[in-house]
Amino acid sequence: MYVHTPVMLKQVLENVVSDDDKMFLDCTLGEGGHTEAVLKTFPEIKVCGIDRDCKIMEVAKNRMQPFGDRFQSFLMNFSEVGTLKEKGLSFDSALIDLGISVFHYKVSGRGFSFSREEPLDMRLDNEGESVADLVNNLPEEELRSILYKYAQERFAPMIAKKIVTYREKNPITLSTQLAEIIESAVPAKFRGGKIHPATKAFQALRIAVNHELDYIEPGIRAVLSLLKKGGRLGVITFHSLEDKIVKSLFKYMSLECECPPKIPKCVCGKIKEVEIVGKSFTADDDELKDNPPSRSARLRIVEKI
């Protein structure tokens, strides 16, 4: 039986949610780890959980049954949460966890893991093309671009070429099949280490097929539109591409003016939207020991003003 441990839980409970909060928005519900902890820690709070994956949402809904009407859920991408305004919902605090759940790697059967023989899909919902569609149809140049852009894969040219050569004779339909192709494309001296040669390529293809980076900025803006004044939003990232987007957006939204320094009077009309809460948070030693996936996690928090 797998157990997904939510990352940065202590930091979220201490710095994002407060005792006075009445409504909390979990924008990436997953299996409900953060939501369950919030409901247990703050007995008066109600939680609204959002996720784009109907299968994992069923897991979370079953988990939250003991909390009754203190929990409600909506099936959607977190970038679409602005539609909750139509339901009269607003929130005191919110969390966006951009990580991928253990559920997807071990239970979903969609080919997220290169160590399991599963259909090569990797979609978090049933929308759009699968990873199998990408690796079987995209031109070599586009595959190479995806591998480098979304994972900084140093062997992107060789991997893309190997994929295209292989698919000329056989379609690529299984996760283990793709992993073997990638591994064979990597020079021998770079194989056999602690990190599997297919790790970065699988990450890049997953990000591409789910358009993960495209939803971050509109999602953050949508969530902030639902927060009350003084409400806090926490965003947990797991790699530099995500973190760069979040850090840059938070910095921009915290500016009072973006006019060039030489202009004596502000003419840009920029309005400061948030206050950045401290520096970014990382996992403490205890969490790093007990929950290895937290080693790359980073939590950034802003307060709506």
Q: Which CATH number characterizes residue 235's domain? A: 3.40.50.150
Q: Which residues pair with 299 in a beta bridge?
A: 236, 281
Rounded to the nearest angstrom, the gap between the alpha carbon of residue 188 and the centroid of all alpha carbons in its chain is: 32
Range of the domain at 72: 9-98+213-304
Distance between CA 140 and CA 160 in Å, rounded? 6
**Count of domains forming the chain:** 2
Q: Are residues 68 and 117 in the same domain?
A: no
Which of these three, 210, 227, 258, is where a domain ends? 210
How do beta strands 274-276 and 298-304 pair?
A: antiparallel
Q: Which CATH number characterizes residue 179's domain? A: 1.10.150.170
Closest CA to 253 of 233, 227, 267, 271: 271
- The residue type found at 131 is V
Q: Are residues 71 and 143 in the same domain?
A: no
Helices (H), 107-215: 131-137, 140-151, 156-167, 175-185, 199-210
pTM of the model: 0.93
Q: 39 CB contacts (<8 Å, ≥6 apart)?
A: 45, 47, 64, 67, 70, 71
Residue 76 belongs to a domain: yes
The 3-class secondary structure across 142-173, one letter per residue, is HHHHHHHHHHCCCCHHHHHHHHHHHHCCCCCC
Q: Are residues 153 and 86 in the same domain?
A: no
Beta strands in 192-283 (DSSP E): 227-237, 274-276, 281-282
The CA R_g of the chain, rounded to the nearest whole Å, is 21
Q: What is the pLDDT along the chain (305 residues), one digit of tens a residue?
A: 456 789 999 999 999 999 999 999 999 999 999 999 999 999 999 999 999 999 999 999 999 999 999 999 999 999 999 999 999 999 999 999 999 998 999 999 999 999 999 999 999 998 899 999 999 999 999 999 999 999 999 999 999 999 999 999 999 999 999 999 999 999 988 887 788 999 999 999 999 999 999 999 999 999 999 999 999 999 999 999 999 999 999 999 999 888 888 888 888 888 999 999 999 999 998 888 888 878 999 999 999 99
Q: Are residues 128 and 269 in the same domain?
A: no
Distance between CA 17 and CA 37 in Å, rounded? 11
Q: Are residues 85 and 46 in the same domain?
A: yes
Which of these three, 159, 178, 210, is where a domain ends? 210
CB 112 within 8 A of CB 160: no
Q: Are residues 75 and 120 in the same domain?
A: no
Residue 2 belongs to a domain: no
